[in-house]
Structure 1
Amino acid sequence: MTRGSRAFLVIISLILIISECIYGVPFLGGSFILSTGWQPLLINAFLYLVMAVYLLIDRQNTIRPMVIILFIGIIGSFLAIVPFLGMIIHWVLFFLMLFFMLVLLSAPLYVPNKHAKVIYTEHRRRK
């Protein structure tokens, strides 16, 4: 994982953690979601989808198995339409995203070797 991909995933993860925390508050989150016509749930599902696609496409990604959490987030965002069930789902997704963030921040970074081509060509010339 490169620094740019980690930064991208961290920013979206922070947005999702904050939104899941707000939506999980019993009356505040429910009234906000109902007053906006369940649109925040669709936005969350879209953000989970963007992160899942990015994890599946990235070649240097060491945390690819964590895409399961993102698929749970997509499904959970659609199941959270039910009021009381939605509150519990947002609590679960909040803790899953905290775990995802912990794994994301502990994943190793890929640092390319800028001199690899030079060393390889010098080695080939010596033979």
Structure 2
Amino acid sequence: MSATTLLKWITGICEALLAIPIAGGAFILSGGWQPLLFMFVFHLIVLIISINQKQFSSGSVVGMIANAVGIIPIIGWIMHTITAIILIVDAGMSTAKKG
């Protein structure tokens, strides 16, 4: 499994956890919105690594957008859900290709 695929799995799972309606919101609020900043930077790192490995990750771009607008409650929840789905499907397809 490539580093990009592994990072897609990790970011997808993290986004899915942030998408849990009450728990994800409580985690973000309790952290003073720092989890959104962390995930934005994490998606940026994954995007840079994936570009270097010639495996562009649209999920990372969507993830950066999701974390930028994540401070808006309902829109943030929807964006985190969409991002998690995109990343997990992309990681699953990458895993299936390699395996």
Q: Deviations over 1:90-123 (max 9, x none)?
A: 11011001111023213459xxxxxxxxxxxxxx
Measure the CA separation in 1 of the matches of 2:93 and 2:40: 21
Matched with 1:118 is: none
Contact preservation (8 Å) 2:13, 2:88: no
Percent sequence identity over matched residues? 24
Q: Report 1:45-124 matches (<5 A).
A: 45-58=40-53, 61=54, 63-64=55-56, 67-108=57-98
Contact 1:10 1:101 (C-alpha < 8 Å) held by counterparts? yes
Q: Which moved more, 1:88-97 or 1:12-21?
A: 12-21
Q: Distance in 2 between matches of 1:106 and 1:25?
A: 27
Give 5+ residue unaligned stretches, structure 2.
none
Distance 1:29 1:69 in 2: 19
The C-alpha deviation readout for 1:14-43, integer Å capped at 9, x for no partner, is 321222122111111101100101111111
2:40–2:68 contact (8 Å) kept in structure 1: yes
Normalised by the length of structure 2, the TM-score is 0.85
Pick 1 or 2: higher relative contact order, CA cutoff 8 A, min separation 6.
2
Unaligned runs of 5+ in 1: 110-127
CA RMSD of the aligned region, Å? 1.9
TM-score if structure 1 supplies the norm length? 0.68
Q: Aligned partner of 1:44: which letter?
A: M
Correspondence 1:41 to 2:36: yes
Q: Find 1:22's aligned residue among 17, 26, 40.
A: 17
State the Cα distance separating 1:86 from its structure 2 match. Answer: 0.8
Q: Which has the larger radius of gyration?
A: 1
